[in-house]
A and B are shown apart, each in its own frame.
Chain A
Amino acid sequence: MAKESAFEQLDPLLQHRVRFAVCVLLSKGEQLSFSYLKKTLRATDGNLGAQLTKLESKGYLKVNKFFENRKPLTTYSLTPKGRSDLQKHLRALQRIIDLGDRKPSDD
């Protein structure tokens, strides 16, 4: 039952691996560009773009647009809401992992 409860506490938005990885990478207070995220996550343009849009629309990401040497550049950073929800998701995952280590009779 405890494990069922932990599963329910997982954030549905972060149960997608690309969205989860984006939030983890941005959680160190860095601003990362689309091209960097694409390379690091080994994702396609379409998939990454769709996942970033979803995270932005739910208020997890802040998009920063500016010009660098007359070239448009877009970077992403984590919002306080994104950071807080990521922490909750990580805590729930940790509980699942901890409970997974136990023998069935412990539960």
Chain B
Amino acid sequence: MTEHNMDPIKEDLRYVRGAIERHEDQPMPLFSRILWASYCLIGYVLIDFFPSTGSLFLLWGGLVCVGLEGLKAIIFRDDEIRTRGQQDLRSLVHLLGLALAGIVIYILGTHGKFSNGYSIGQMYLVLVGYHFFCSGVWASTKLNWNAGILLGLASLSGAVLVSFFPHGVWTGLGVLFAFIIGMGMKIPFHYQRDGTDENSLN
């Protein structure tokens, strides 16, 4: 087969790849950015200054945020994409799992199963860190895999650091989370996806 036959295929694959990238690189909605960035900033800073209020805010505020996301999805249903199918269901189950784990930690903490309030906080940070790390690993798009892993590692590190620095770590994490989420979980990073790229056709 001559090179002549390969050129249209190369062009078609470039075109399809561009379409897939545009499809996958949907920006995080502004509503979600503001909601979750505010939740992290307010909740984490409160933990440093008013621990009891902060823990209640993180628990109930998180549930309210999940509820608001669901309400927004129902009221302002996107008429361009009817359904994102399995991806949405997976995200919902993932968030529900996180919410359930948070409730279990809270119940255990309020029944004196942890030595002190910091233990509850540390458990929470480990949970959130693992959640973000996994969401980064399993992210199907190049949008947020590195942001997820970064926030996951930061949260896990924070869980250790609060043992040595009781004040300030939560505020630092709150600012970092709010900043990354406010940017739409996007960290500019060149990433060449595998599969049918130009080089594999040469």
Q: Identify the A interface with B (CB < 8 A).
A: 3-4, 7, 15, 17, 20-21, 24-25, 28-33, 35-36, 39-42, 64, 68-69, 71, 73, 75, 93, 96-97, 100-101
Question: Nearest residue in B to A4 (C-beta to C-beta)?
Answer: B1
Known: A29-B86, A30-B85, A33-B81. A97 touches B19 (CB 8 A): no
Q: Please encode chain B, from 1 to 31, with 1 for each CB lying within 8 Å of some chain A CB and 0 for all others.
A: 1000110010111011001101100000000
Q: Is the CB of A29 within 8 A of B85?
A: yes
Summarize B's interface: helix, strand, loop or mixed: helix
Q: Are B16 and A30 in contact (CB under 8 A)?
A: no
Question: In the assembly, what is the distance between CA of A19 and CA of B87, in Å?
Answer: 23
Q: Are A17 and B83 in contact (CB under 8 A)?
A: no
Q: CA–CA, A21 to B20, complex, Å?
A: 8
Q: Is the CB of B200 within 8 A of A17?
A: no
Q: Which single residue of chain A is at the shortest CB-CB distance from B88?
A: A30
A29 and B6 CA atoms in complex are apart in Å by 30
| Bound: A93/B23 CA distance, A | 22
Does A64 lie within 8 Å of B82, measured CB to CB?
A: yes
Instruction: Determine the residue in chain B with the shortest Cβ distance to A32.
Output: B81
Q: How close is B16's CB to chain A, nearest CB, in angstroms?
A: 5
A33 touches B82 (CB 8 A): yes
Q: How far is the CB of B101 from chain A (nearest CB, A)?
A: 28
- Closest CB pairs A-B (n = 4): A29-B85, A36-B80, A75-B82, A31-B82
B77 at the interface (CB under 8 A from A): yes
Whether the Cβ atoms of B23 and A7 lie closer than 8 Å is no
What is the minimal beta-carbon distance from A5 to any residue of chain B, in angstroms? 10
Residues B84 and A30 in contact, CB atoms below 8 Å apart: yes
B87: chain A residues within 8 A (beta carbon)? 28, 30
**Chain B residues with CB under 8 A of A4:** 1
Closest A residue to B8 using CB positions:
A15
Residue of A nearest to B14 (CB): A17
In angstroms, how far is the closest chain A Cβ from the Cβ of B83?
A: 5
Least Cβ distance of A69 to chain B in Å? Answer: 8
- B23 close to A40 (CB less than 8 A): yes
Q: How far is the CA of A31 from the CA of B82 in the complex (A)?
A: 6
Residues in A neighbouring B16, C-beta threshold 8 A:
17, 20-21, 24
Q: What are 19 A-B pairs at a CB distance below 8 A?
A: A3-B1, A4-B1, A7-B5, A17-B11, A24-B16, A24-B19, A24-B20, A25-B23, A29-B86, A30-B84, A30-B87, A32-B81, A40-B19, A42-B19, A93-B13, A96-B6, A97-B200, A97-B201, A100-B6
Complex CA gap A24/B14 in Å reads 13
**A1 CB, nearest partner CB in chain B, Å:** 10
Contact (Cβ within 8 A) A36 B81:
yes
**Contacts A25-B23, A32-B82 given: A20-B201 contact, CB under 8 Å?**
no
C-alpha spacing A41/B20, complex, angstroms: 9
Which of B6, B19, B82 is close to A25, meaning CB atoms less than 8 Å apart? B19
- Decide: B85 and A7 in contact? CB cutoff 8 A: no
